[in-house]
């Protein structure tokens, strides 16, 4: 039986929102003797509380893992768990190795397929709750261990998610190293951005059909703009929201960033030629830039890469190599 995750938005925007869902981790020997257990086996059994408040006890280190969203998959691979992955979603496109893993569905997930893969744990996601509840319960009823990962909306929450998946999957030390590396990268970018004397106003377009969607406060992209010393033209709004074209023109952003390029070729050119946008500073200065949606919206390890790409898009004079 298949269950469907529904989104009340356009297909392109839905793909971007679903995404809101590598480098190798630093070696464990960098940890101090007092902080680093000698072996991951020492972490089991472990009891963790998931996003729906269920206490999940994992008796042994999982040897077979199913990930239901791309962000969980990217975290798992980053923590060195790639060989344990037996199922991933149809949307998983990173890293390349994920393409070789059995697919369990996209906005739909195949309950029977997941059960047949005999996973020790299924990493579900809070964003799939609601319509997906019945399917997840079927998995639980079949004896499958389901852990619902929180829907992180900030860098700090992503760090917590990485730590949790590390504990659940037997990669706690790798998770600690990854979090430390991400924090260091963020600090370096923020330090460089602090040298900007004249912060720019930025409008981020994450959807354009049938309405223009942007990201207000409480989103990764809003947090990123703050980190790079830029002003969000939609900062007085909240969450993923539609914005009237006239309001965008009135805000007169210095830079327009579009995340639609992956599924809407020529997205930047379309904005440049959009009716009524000719007098917007970003258009006059040809400062309309495409940024990879997955890197700036997926709640995983690549967020720091996305932050750097955003910095280059807004302040190329500062961040271009």
Which residues fall within 8 angstroms of residue 139, CB to CB, at 6 or more apart? Answer: 111, 114, 115, 122, 146
Task: Give the angle 153-258-14 at the CA atoms, nearest 5°.
Answer: 55
* Distance (Å) of CA 54 to CA 74, 83, 161: 24, 27, 16
Q: How many residues does the chain have?
A: 321
Q: Answer whether the bond into residue 77 is a cis peptide, omega within 30°.
A: no
Task: Determine whether 198 is exposed, middle or buried from the number of CB atoms within 10 Å of its CB (0-12, 13-18, 19+).
Answer: exposed
Q: What is the DSSP letter of 101?
A: S
Task: Determine whether 277 is exposed, middle or buried from the number of CB atoms within 10 Å of its CB (0-12, 13-18, 19+).
Answer: middle
**What sign has the CA pseudo-torsion 304, 26, 183, 238?**
positive
Which ranges of the chain have pLDDT less than 70? Answer: 1-42, 321
Q: Identify the pLDDT of residue 43.
A: 79
Give dist(CA 109, CA 100) in Å, integer.
18
Which residues fall within 8 angstroms of residue 116, CB to CB, at 6 or more apart? Answer: none
Q: Identify the pLDDT of residue 132.
A: 86
Give dist(CA 43, CA 289) in Å, integer.
45
Cα Dmax for the chain? 63
Q: What is the DSSP letter of 49?
A: E
Beta bridge partners of 123: 67, 147
Q: Identify the pLDDT of residue 44.
A: 94
Task: Give the angle 256-225-217 at the CA atoms, nearest 5°.
Answer: 100
Encoded tokens for 99:
């393409």
SS3 call for 86: strand
Q: Identify the pLDDT of residue 168.
A: 97
């Amino acid at each position: 039986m298949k269950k469907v995750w529904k989104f009340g938005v356009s297909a392109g925007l839905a793909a971007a929102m679903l995404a809101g869902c590598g480098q190798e981790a630093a070696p464990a020997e960098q940890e101090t003797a007092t902080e680093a257990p000698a072996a991951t086996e020492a972490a089991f059994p472990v009891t963790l509380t998931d996003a729906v408040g269920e206490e999940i006890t994992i008796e042994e280190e999982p040897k077979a893992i199913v990930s239901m969203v791309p962000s969980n998959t990217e975290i798992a691979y980053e923590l060195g768990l790639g060989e344990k992955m037996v199922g991933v979603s149809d949307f998983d496109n990173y890293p390349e190795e994920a393409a070789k893993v059995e697919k369990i569905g996209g906005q739909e997930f195949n309950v029977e397929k997941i059960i047949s893969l005999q996973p020790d744990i299924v990493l579900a996601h809070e964003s799939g709750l609601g319509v997906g509840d019945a399917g997840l319960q079927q998995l639980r009823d079949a004896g499958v261990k389901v852990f619902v990962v929180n829907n992180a909306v900030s860098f700090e929450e992503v760090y917590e998610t990485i730590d949790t998946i590390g504990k659940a999957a037997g990669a706690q030390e790798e998770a600690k190293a990854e979090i430390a590396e991400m924090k260091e990268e963020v600090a370096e970018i923020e330090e460089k951005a602090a040298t900007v004397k004249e912060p720019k106003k930025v409008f981020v377009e994450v959807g354009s059909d049938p309405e223009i969607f942007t990201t207000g406060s409480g989103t990764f992209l809003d947090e990123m703009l703050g980190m790079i010393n830029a002003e969000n033209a939609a900062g007085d709004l909240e969450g993923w929201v539609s914005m009237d074209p006239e309001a965008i023109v009135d805000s007169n952003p210095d830079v327009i960033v579009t995340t639609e390029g992956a599924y809407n070729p020529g997205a930047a050119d379309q904005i440049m030629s959009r009716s009524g946008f000719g007098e917007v500073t970003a258009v006059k200065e040809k400062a309309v830039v495409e940024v990879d949606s997955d890197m700036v919206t997926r709640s995983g390890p690549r967020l720091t890469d996305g932050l750097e790409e955003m910095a280059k898009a807004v302040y190329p004079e500062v961040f271009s190599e």
